[in-house]
């Protein structure tokens, strides 16, 4: 009997020690976020400069990026505020621009995040950059804590960049142009990375191009929100049709 018990003890795995805490996922998440997150800093700088040049106080950049936290819409919001746009127009623009986040939620691994507070913040902090990293091939085995830290660092980059840009806005001359293109440049890079990772998914850039051309022809004055709305609707139709086809084949 002693020999049998010794043999069994050698084959059975050791029981986990509850006193040993798993290593923090903050540092790995910081390294993961650096590749794309550092690109948010100059983008935030551009937003902060635009906000101060629009005559708004510097702290409004910090407040907007911390509470609104919707990069593309925040750039549009500056122009809407300057034009004294009606509240209904602001709300409709925000809905159309951020409608894509509904589709992000379909494949974002929110189930890995623990706790109601963690899930609530993860839902609030879901943006293009976090989604691109969290749904990549490298992130398939990331725990929820790592995903949560990733989103925290993304917002830190954004808030910090916008605040610094607002504080430095006074020394940037009004003649400087092209700051608003920083958002387009970042989206272009993210789109290229997504196409490279999913080479078989060529219809997506084609759909985006067709939506942009349609918005240009139909409503050139509101190109961005109309293009986003058409693109979101096209993705929804494609998702529903492919999902039904997959169920039918199964």
Q: Burial code of 50-59, b = ≥16 C-beta within 10 A, e = fewer?
A: bbbbeebebe
Nearest in space to 129 (alpha carbons), one of 155, 103, 165, 111: 155
Query: For the chain, what are the domain ranges?
Result: 24-176
Q: Given a cut of 80, is residue 164 above it in pLDDT?
A: yes
Provide the mean pLDDT of the chain. 80
pLDDT digits (tens, 9 = 90+) for 3-51: 544 444 455 555 555 555 677 888 989 998 888 888 788 888 888 988 9
Q: Given a cut of 50, is residue 139 above it in pLDDT?
A: yes
pLDDT digits (tens, 9 = 90+) for 170-225: 776 666 666 656 666 666 766 666 666 665 565 777 888 899 999 999 888 888 78
Distance from the first to the final alpha carbon of the chain: 52
Output DSSP code: residue 64. Answer: I
């Amino acid at each position: 009997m002693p020999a049998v018990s010794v043999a069994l003890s050698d084959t059975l795995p050791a029981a986990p020690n509850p006193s040993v805490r798993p290593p923090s996922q903050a540092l790995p998440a910081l390294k993961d976020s650096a590749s794309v997150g550092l690109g948010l800093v100059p983008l935030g700088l551009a937003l902060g400069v635009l906000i101060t040049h629009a005559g708004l106080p510097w702290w409004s950049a910090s407040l907007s990026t911390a509470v609104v936290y919707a990069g593309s819409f925040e750039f549009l919001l500056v122009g809407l505020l300057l034009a004294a746009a009606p509240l209904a127009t602001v709300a409709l623009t925000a809905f159309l621009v951020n409608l894509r986040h509904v589709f992000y939620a379909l494949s974002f691994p929110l189930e890995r995040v623990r706790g109601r507070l963690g899930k609530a913040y993860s839902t609030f902090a879901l943006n293009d950059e976090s989604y691109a990293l969290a749904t990549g091939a490298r992130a398939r085995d990331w725990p929820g804590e790592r995903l949560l830290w990733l989103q925290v660092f993304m917002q830190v980059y954004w808030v910090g960049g916008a605040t610094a840009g607002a504080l430095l806005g006074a020394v940037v001359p009004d003649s400087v142009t092209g700051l608003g293109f920083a958002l387009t440049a970042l989206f272009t890079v993210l789109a290229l990375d997504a196409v490279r990772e999913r080479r078989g998914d060529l219809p997506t850039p084609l759909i985006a191009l067709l939506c942009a051309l349609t918005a240009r022809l139909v409503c050139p004055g509101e190109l961005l929100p109309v293009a986003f709305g058409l693109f979101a609707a096209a993705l929804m139709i494609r998702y529903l049709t492919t999902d039904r086809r997959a169920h039918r084949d199964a």
